[in-house]
Amino acid sequence: ETLSFDFPVVQIEEGVATLELFHGPTMAFKDVGARFMAKCLGYFNKDKEQKITVLVATSGDTGGAVARGFLGVKGVEVVILYPRGKVSTIQEKQLTTLGQNITALEVDGVFDDCQEMVKTAFLDAEIDRILTSANSINIARWLPQMFYFFFAYKQVQHLNKELIFSVPSGNFGNICAGMMAQKLGLPVKHFIASTNVNDTVANYLKSGQYEPKPSVATISNAMDVGNPSNFIRILELFNKDDEQLKKLFSSYSFTDNETRQAMKSIYKKSNYIVDPHGAVGYLGLKKHELKANDYGIFLETAHPVKFLDIVEETLGAKVAIPEQIQSVINKEKRSIRISSYSDLKAFLNA
């Protein structure tokens, strides 16, 4: 039931393709992990009397995927924190219009503030609820994402090329899943963590100093993360050996202007519309300079319609609105505004 939709590899140009991850119900790659986790949690909690509260922070697509995945799951309440004014209109509608067991908390701050509140709540003994997370800090959310790296390989195996994945990266759960797939035997030559100007990891690979910083708002908002919580897991995969890591892993960062130019270039050359995150992934492949026998695949993590204003303004082209999105556009937004951890704690203990 989790993987009931397609994951096609679509060629963009010679030696470069995209893996489309937006054919699920909320049109983002996070449908995979959210649906898998919802099924698991619903199954293991079905005979228990006390409810579980899924507490999750979102910078964009996680909230909508978790909301839809857990909607109506018996014995589970979902509380989603998202930064006010820093998710797209459609993303906000997807996480604030469902009702039932889903509550959206609109935070005066950035994603890192939301994530910090969630982490604080897990350590607070005074919270009178059983809490679990649906962010990628919970491996049940991103481990299932290993599947589609294998699906991609199956589709291009006949080319007999060396595979390089470029993964648009924010909290680094998606690329960590890919690297776990590689550890399980998936033949991948190299991984590229492509980021926007939130370049903590790219800078670490240059300097050897890990220096988290406040996140900066960009047009690829799902990657606006200044302190990616899953990067430590990637380091652990390599026993914190930077030299071994760099043989298989690179990270490059790009500005909004570069992102828009890539969107235009892909549209002009291939008549293919990418969202800003996919464009950043494409740029990562270009910067890495593929060799003759390399085949680069960048992950298209969300349908362009989820960033409708940015895409249409950048390309001067209209994007058809799919049925999954049309169904939420005119629904009424319902959220509760909070500004501090004390507000979150009061809500959870109410």
How far apart CA 70 and CA 2 sit, in angstroms, is 12
How far apart CA 201 and CA 195 sit, in angstroms, is 9
Of 92, 74, 75, the residue nearest 83 (C-alpha): 92
Of 308, 194, 200, 313, the residue nearest 264 (C-alpha): 313
Of 87, 256, 115, 97, the residue nearest 172 (C-alpha): 115
The answer to whether residues 72 and 49 touch, using CB atoms and an 8 Å cutoff, is no
CB contact burial 151-183 (16+ within 10 A = b; e otherwise)? bbbeebeeeebbbbbbbbbbbbbbbbbbbbbbe
Q: Is 240 helix (H, G, I), strand (E, B) or coil?
A: coil
Q: What is the rounded (10 degree) CA torsion for 180, 186, 190, 195?
A: -50
How far apart CA 273 and CA 319 sit, in angstroms, is 8
What's the Cα-to-Cα distance from 104 to each of 68, 118, 184, rounded to whole Å?
13, 13, 37
Record the tokens describing residue 167, joined without a space.
């993964």
How far apart CA 3 and CA 25 sit, in angstroms, is 11
Clarify whether 189 is annotated catalytic: no
**Active-site residue, selected from the candidate residues 30, 86, 306, 345:** 30
The answer to whether residues 61 and 31 touch, using CB atoms and an 8 Å cutoff, is no
Beta bridge partners of 167: 193
Total count of residues recorded for the chain: 350
Amino acid at residue number 164: I
- Catalytic sites, residue numbers: 30
